């Protein structure tokens, strides 16, 4: 059987489909960045530096999965930065009391789950605007952490080896465990989004929620699940951050949501839902991380780092828009 596909108007060739993807553009950007910094900054291309950056990127990569999933479902979640600080509190407090990493992580996950369910309930079932709900949640969580801790960090007194390994340990002495976790989670969720019916339902709901409803999907439950996933993944980031800083930090994750949102959009995940991939998101995160690492290597002060990051975000999103307009022809 032969399909007359190439004769049909509007069916692009594999090659054209490939270069039209945002991921490819982002990948090219990342490679260009890597080449530039390898030439201009000493030590940039060392294994140690690259694996360090992967470890540093793990926070945004893991939370970014959740952010991307929520975006793909057509909603937003900007409470993740505050959640990072929030979940560290039960983690460290329980760990200090019980000397058990398992119980600590469980406590953190319970709190993360609760937050995700509240966000999900208010946005998916009550039908409130997710930007507003998660903005409110951002304030509530941050304020709650300040109230509970009296604005003091809570130190990890237990000093469990397993917890320290989350920060210092490296697989085969090369790749930080946090990066390993990020890669595993990325692979798992990439699988879910591509190969599980739930993943496809998330895309369908974000692409056209009315069509999804007609196809018999429980749109509200799917959106609810996305918020829960986002909170649970931000919880994972919170746990790793707590290990990296050996404590529960009330100021952890300030502006983290901006970084993650920017990286996710940079990676081609559309704010309007239904479009984007975890691969793109990961590339977006890596670009911003390598950029910040490279700029540090070049000894550029903070102000320049801010200016350059801002410019790159605007440029990337504009290019995306130009491309989309060309694709849709308006």
Partner 1 sequence: MTEILRTGASGRTSLASLTGSGQGVLGILLVVLCLGISAAAPQFYSEANIIAILRQCALVLIVASGMTMLVIAAEVDLSVGASLAFVGCISMAVLNATGSLTLGVLAALAFASGVGLVNAIVVTLFRVNSLIGTIGTMMLLQGGVYLFTREAVQNHHQLASFTALGAGYAGPVPIPLILAVAIFAVCAVTLRFTTIGRYLYAVGANERAVRLSGIRSARLKLVAFVVTGLCVGVAGLILASLMNAGQPTAGRGFELTVIAAVILGGTSLSGGSGSLIGTLLGVLVLKVIDNGIIILGWNQDLQMVVPGVVIILATYFDLLRSRHHAR
Partner 2 sequence: MTSITKLLMASVAVLIATSAQAANMPKKIGYVTNYATHEWYQNVIKGMKAHAKELGIDIEVQDANLDIAKQVSAAEDFIAKGVDVLILTPVNEEGVVPLLRRAKAAKIPVVLEGNPVKGMTTLVAICDYDTGYNAGVEAGKYAKDKLGGVAKVMNVGLPLLSATVLRSKGFMDGIHTQIASATLVHDLDGGGNPDRALEVSAAALAKNADINIIYGINDSSALGGLQAWKAAGKSQDGLLTVGTGGEGLAFINAIEKEPSYRIEAAMFPEKEGFTAIDAAVKLFNGEAVPEHIVSPTAPILGDSWKAYYDYDGTTRTIKWAAVNALKPPAKCMQTSADLKK
Partner 3 sequence: MHDDLALFAEEPPMAIDIAVPALEMRGIGKRFPGVLALEAVDLTLAPGKVHALMGENGAGKSTLIKILAGVYQSDAGTMRIHGRDVAIKSPRDSLRQGIKVVFQEIALIDEFSVAENIFLEGHPTDRFGTIDWRKIRTDCADLFERIGFAIDPAARTGSLPVSQQQMVEIARALAHQASIVVMDEPTSSLTPKEVKLLFTIIRRLTALGIAVLYVSHKLDEVFEIADTVTVLRDGRHISTRPIGEHTDDSLIQDMIGRRIVDLFPRQRGPAASRVALSVEGLSTRKLHDVSFEARAGEVVGFFGLMGAGRTELAKAIVGYDPIRAGTIMVDGQWMTPHNTAVGVGLGIGLLSEDRKVEGLMGELPVYQNASLASLGRFAAHGFVDAGKERQAVQTYVERFRIKTPSLFQKVKNLSGGNQQKVLLSRWLMLGLKVIVVDEPTRGIDVGAKSEIFGLIDELAGAGLAVVMMTSEMPELLGLSDRVVVLCEGRVTASMSREEATQEKILNAAIGSQGRASHEFRV
Q: By the criterion CB under 8 A, which residues form the site for partner 3?
A: 1, 3-5, 7-12, 17, 194-197, 200, 203-204, 207-208, 210-218, 274-275, 329-330
- For residue 144, state whether it binds partner 2 (rule: CB under 8 A): no
CA distances from 202 to 37, 70, 122, 288 (A): 38, 9, 18, 26
Report how many residues bind partner 1 under the rule CB under 8 A. Answer: 43
Task: List the Cα angle 185/186/190 in 5-degree steps.
Answer: 115
Report the alpha-carbon distance of residue 180 to residue 234 in Å, rounded: 16
Nearer to partner 1, 93 or 140 (CB): 140
Record the tokens describing residue 46, joined without a space. 């060392």
The dihedrals phi and psi of 253, each to the nearest 5 degrees, come to 75, 15
- For residue 128, state whether it binds partner 1 (rule: CB under 8 A): yes
3-class SS of residue 248: strand
The residues near 92 (Cβ < 8 Å, ≥ 6 apart) are 104, 154, 155, 156, 242, 247, 248
- Interaction partner, residue 258 (partner 1, partner 3, partner 2, none; CB < 5-8 Å by kind): partner 1
Nearer to partner 2, 64 or 273 (CB): 64
CB 57 within 8 A of CB 211: no
Report how many residues bind partner 2 under the rule CB under 8 A. Answer: 41
User: What is the dihedral sign for C-alpha 109, 184, 289, 247?
Assistant: positive
Q: Show the site string, 81-120: x = touches partner 2 by CB under 8 A, - = not.
A: ----------------------------------------
Nearer to partner 1, 137 or 154 (CB): 137
CB atoms within 10 A of CB 50: 16
User: Which residues of the shown chain bind partner 2 in the complex (CB under 8 A)?
Assistant: 42-43, 46, 48-49, 52, 55-56, 59, 150-156, 164, 167-168, 241, 243-247, 249-256, 292-293, 296-297, 299, 301-303
- Binding positions for partner 1, rule: CB under 8 A: 122, 126-129, 131-133, 135-140, 142-144, 146-147, 151, 258, 261-262, 265, 271, 301-311, 313-314, 317-318, 321-322, 325
């Amino acid at each position: 059987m032969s399909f007359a596909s190439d004769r049909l108007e509007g069916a692009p060739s594999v090659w054209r489909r490939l270069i039209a993807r945002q991921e490819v553009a982002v990948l090219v950007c990342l490679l260009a960045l890597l080449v530039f910094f390898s030439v201009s900054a000493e030590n940039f291309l060392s294994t140690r530096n690259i694996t360090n950056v992967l470890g540093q990127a793990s926070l945004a990569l893991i939370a970014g999965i959740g952010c991307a999933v929520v975006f793909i479902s057509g909603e937003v979640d900007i409470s993740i930065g505050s959640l990072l600080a929030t979940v560290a509190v039960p983690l460290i407090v329980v760990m200090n009391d019980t000397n058990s990493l398992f119980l600590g992580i469980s406590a953190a996950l319970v709190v993360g789950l609760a937050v995700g369910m509240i966000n999900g309930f208010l946005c998916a079932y009550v039908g409130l605007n997710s930007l507003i709900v998660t903005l409110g949640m951002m304030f509530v969580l941050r304020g709650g952490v300040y109230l509970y801790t009296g604005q003091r960090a809570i130190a990890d007194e237990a000093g469990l080896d397993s917890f320290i390994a989350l920060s210092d340990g490296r697989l085969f002495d090369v790749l930080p465990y946090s990066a390993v976790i990020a890669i595993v989670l990325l692979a798992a969720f990439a699988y879910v989004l591509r190969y599980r019916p739930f993943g496809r339902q998330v895309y369908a709901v974000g692409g056209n929620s009315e069509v999804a409803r007609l196809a018999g999907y429980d749109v509200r439950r799917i959106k609810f699940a996305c918020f829960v996933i986002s909170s649970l993944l931000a919880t994972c980031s919170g746990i790793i951050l707590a290990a990296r800083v050996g404590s529960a930090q009330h100021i952890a994750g300030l502006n983290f949501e901006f970084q993650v949102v920017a990286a996710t959009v940079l990676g081609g995940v559309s704010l309007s839902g239904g479009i984007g991939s975890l691969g793109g998101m990961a590339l977006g995160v890596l670009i911003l991380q390598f950029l910040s690492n490279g700029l540090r290597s070049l000894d550029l002060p903070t102000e320049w780092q801010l200016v350059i990051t801002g410019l790159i975000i605007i440029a990337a999103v504009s290019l995306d828009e130009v491309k989309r307009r060309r694709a849709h022809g308006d």
